[in-house]
Amino acid sequence: MKWNLDTTHSAADFAVKHLMISTVRGRFKKLTGSGETSEDGTLKSVEMTIDAASIDTNEPKRDDHLRSPDFFDVASYPAITFRSTSIRQNGSDIAIAGDLTIRGVTKPVTLKGDITGAVTDPWGNTRAGLEVSTKISRKEWGLLWNAVLETGGFAVGDEVRVSVEVEAVAMQEQVPVAA
């Protein structure tokens, strides 16, 4: 069965240390994706695309800096993508290995979390959920900007916690119309 991400019920969030004392959280407002499951409901593949310019940390000046060449360089690299390469599922526990591309750099990551079984919504659509997370080193994807603090350390931490929560809707099979 093929699935499309329900963009109004899905989110891609991140968290990173700021000044080594607090955590800045943000999200990307625009996320699209699709997937496929086997007959028994086991997830077979996942693809997601994030509009890098849709970053939101609740601080417009910081968001503009994150869109700049110092960080995501959204003018040159408008999309962040993830494509699964293998999936291990044991009941609701899931580990999705795949290729994450940021700023034109592709590296393998593993997203771990839970998948929820399919349900039928009040309008007759089949829906399922997925909640996964991982940690990445932003430097590995070319997000190198930083400032050294007088007391030692850096303004922006290297480790970024990434979490994705999606609700997907099963695509309805199109029945060919007889001519």
Over the chain (179 residues), what is each successive 10-residue block's mean pLDDT?
Answer: 91 80 85 91 92 94 90 94 95 94 95 90 89 89 65 66 92 61
135's tokens: 């940690």
Q: How many residues does the chain have?
A: 179
pLDDT for position 71 = 86
Q: CA torsion, points 28, 6, 77, 102, in degrees to nearest 10?
A: 70
Contacts of 47 (CB under 8 A, 6+ apart): 33, 34, 35, 81, 82, 83, 84
pLDDT of 14 reads 87
Q: What is the pLDDT of residue 154?
A: 56
The domain made up of 2-170 has a fold known as Lipocalin (2.40.128)
- The reply to whether the predicted model has a pTM over 0.85 is yes
The pLDDT of residue 152 is 61
pLDDT at 21: 66
Cα–Cα dist 59/154, whole Å: 20
Sequence ranges of the domains in the chain? 2-170
Q: Give the per-residue pLDDT at 19.
A: 63
**The pLDDT of residue 20:** 65
Cα(143)–Cα(132) distance, integer angstroms:
22
